[in-house]
Each structure stands twice: as C-alpha cells, then as structure tokens.
Amino acid sequence: MTNRKIVVALGGNAILAHDASAQAQQQALLATAKYLVEFIKQGDQLIISHGNGPQVGNLLLQQAAGASEQNPPMPLDTAVAMTQGSIGYWMQNAMAEVIAENGLEVDVASVVTQVEVSADDPAFKHPTKPIGPFYTKAAVDELKVAHPEQQFVEDAGRGYRRVVASPRPIGVKEAGVVNQLVKAGIVPISVGGGGVPVVREGNRLVGREAVIDKDFASEKLAELVGADLLIILTAVDHIFVNFNQPTQQRLTQVSVSDLKRYIAEDQFAKGSMLPKVEAAIQFVEHRPAGQAVVTSLENIGEFLATGSGTVISADVRDATRPDDELTTTTHD
C-alpha cells in the first residue's frame, strides 16, 4: 500500500479521437478507467484531471449552428463548465463500473472547478490554445470569411485548429474541497478542461473567454493539494529529444535543469509537448520532494511495475536511450 497522493492528467484527445458521439467517448473513458484503477488497487490516493479541447470546440460549433435571438450561445467559460460536467459524468460512471469489477469500495465525484487567472495576463491578447476539430487549409479560409473574429493556427502537423486565449492559472478555488474528498477516501475529478477560467473582482469570481491548458491547471492543483506525483498522460511512453529524427532519443530520468536546456534548444513542439514539459518543471520546482512523470495511458502498468516513462526530478542525472525504430506518433 503506497498511499501516494497522485494527480493524473488525461488529454481531451484521448477521450475524443474521431467519433464525437457520447457513446464513443463513454467507451473511451471506460477503457481509460481500466488503466487508472491500477493506482487505486495499489493504495494510491488518486486525483483525476482531464482536457476538453475537442469537446468544448465541438460544443461551440453546435451552439453557433443553433443560435437564435431566443436561444443565444453560451460564453466560453460556461461552455468549459458544461464540458466539465459532461466528461466528469462519463468519467465517474466509468470509474465506478471498473472499481466495482475489481471488488473495491471507493466513491468517485466530479467537482466543477474554477481556476483563477490574472485579468492582466498577456494571453488574452495573444490566443494560442487549440480547441475543437482539425481543419484543412481550404476549410479554414472559408471559416475566416464566416467568422473573421476567430483565429486559427496549424497544430503540430495535424491540420488547423481554432485558437483561444490560454492564461496561466494562479489558483484553484476548489483545491480545499478536492483535498477533503481525498481525505475521505473519495477519488475526485477536478480542473476538467483546465478548469473554468475566472478572475477575482472583490468577493466575486467572474468568468473569462478562455480555455486554460489542462497540464498547467493540473500542475497548479497538484501543487496546492501537496501531491507526491504529477502524471501527465500523452500519446507516447516517453519525452523525446530530436523527435522523429535519426538521432531521436527517449528520456527516462531527467532533471529540471536538463529539461530547461532542452527547451532552450527548441526540442519540444509548442502546441504539444512543450506545455507538458513546462508544467512538469513547474511542479517539481514547487514540490522539490515530488516528481513529475510524462508517459502514455497504455504504459501505466509498466510505469507502476518498473518506473517506465519519463521521470522528472529536481536534481537527477540525465538519462537518454536511443530508439532502434523511429516512431511517427505525434505528441498529444
């Protein structure tokens, strides 16, 4: 029984790949739950977070298509809360099913989480966060004519996506609630979709048109609840340097200082792996006794058994391993 407090951050693209139906996303989460339950089986205190980039983008498209004067579309912060609720509902049911299958008695609860950001964050003037589906260049040109206020960027070689403001989190309003749930033996699902972005105005928290990066929100939550481990799940088992090049190497154990050196070398793509690396660094700098791990969902069993994955610590010897075969998997 390890009894570590662990925040596991799951990407929204792992929930919604191609089929946007509720049934397909529920099936994806059921498969995910079978991996996550392994932490509970070995006695860890689990906190789950998740992204919502595809889901909130699709919701905005649905609202725009059906908008009228009598039925106006909801603002982006409310759309984030809506997807927090829907994904949390699916996730807690999936976890409950798998927990029962394993003969465990653990409750799971979703928390609609507000994440505080600064009203002066420069991100509000420079949108960078991709949301929604991928588009071809021709489709983007048509969308720009119909919606000139929207901005689109090419996303890691996978197509074009709409981008919105992505301010950095400075607090998690419900962090205390999450800690109380953990102390009661309940698995919380929190900061879904990066949390609802809010700014403080006196005694009020007011929503903002933005989507917070779920890795940074998960880091902030892990920091505030005193987690021992932050696990950021992506599409590959390890962080790579010289990614998709003949000299590609996977990192197994790496220090914060070495990761900063790799960032200075521009080793990590801004739209995919870089935020995960920066969030891992931020967590370890705030929790020097803790560790951050970047790996894939499918590698969780191997991580629990052997420590496989990229483990980031405050001060360890940099370890890299050459790959015999070049992977073409893109970072999630």
Residues involved in catalysis: 12-13, 129, 214, 276
CB-CB contact of 253 with 308 (8 Å): no
User: How deeply is 285 buried, as exposed, middle or buried, from its count of CB atoms within 10 A (0-12, 13-18, 19+)?
Assistant: exposed
- Quick one: CA dihedral 250, 233, 209, 59, positive or negative? positive
User: How deeply is 78 buried, as exposed, middle or buried, from its count of CB atoms within 10 A (0-12, 13-18, 19+)?
Assistant: middle
User: Which residues have CB under 8 Å from 247's CB, separation 6+?
Assistant: 322
SS3 172: strand
Question: CA 189, CA 146: separation in Å to the nearest integer?
Answer: 37
Tokens of 238: 């390890």
Alpha helix ranges (H) inside 287-319: 300-306
Which of 192, 211, 279 is CA-nearest to residue 239?
279
Alpha helix ranges (H) inside the chain: 22-41, 53-65, 76-101, 137-146, 175-183, 214-225, 256-264, 273-286, 300-306
